Structure 1
Amino acid sequence: MSKESRLVYSTESGRIKSGNAAPARPAGDGIVRIRRETSGRKGKGVTTISGLEMSDGELKSLAKKLKELCGTGGCIKNGIIEIQGDHREKIRDTLISQGHTVKFAGG
């Protein structure tokens, strides 16, 4: 087991940047996937929407619209929108009306 360096500043090179960069957003294939997930959430279900190739601002505004539509909360993590509860049908209809190709993923 190797020890990880905890060096933050060096007199030779100045501040040492950490290797913890923000994770890259997964590349999509043009298909928006909607899935219901409960793992790691103490049995509470969330609807996740992935595969949207949009800028962060566009994702944020779409997430806001979907949260208002469903009347619930949610967030964006690594380019994936999470909406609390099971709202797959409403979200699918909304995304199809916006011109996206949508598929249900998972069981």
Structure 2
Amino acid sequence: MSRGYHSSWKIPDEHRADSAYVEAGAAIALGQAVYDRRTALGLSQVELAHRAGLAESDVERVEGGAVVPTLELLRTLATALDATMDLTIEPAATHVSFAPHAA
């Protein structure tokens, strides 16, 4: 079984109704998962940007949790990171993981 790289963000009870907090948490979870997978592959932000057809600043913003991604961006990142991405959004938590494609 291949090892997946993941990140999760649990929303504290007092912020569960705050949609901005929920979106920020999801963006942070995605950013951490992208960073974890990129570094596991030994890629720099420049190399990932090149693979994904993005600017380095775009990768930096994703990893920093400053981007609420589109489905197209999620697909692009999964392809560039040579992985399958699993995104689970629950009322109290967001989980993001990348599972490397089988060799």
Larger Cα Rg: Structure 1 or Structure 2? 1
Say yes or no: TM over 0.5: no
- Relative contact order higher in (CA < 8 Å, ≥ 6 apart): 2
Considering fraction of residues, name the structure with more strand. Answer: 1
TM-score by length of 1: 0.37
Q: Greater helix share, 1 or 2?
A: 2
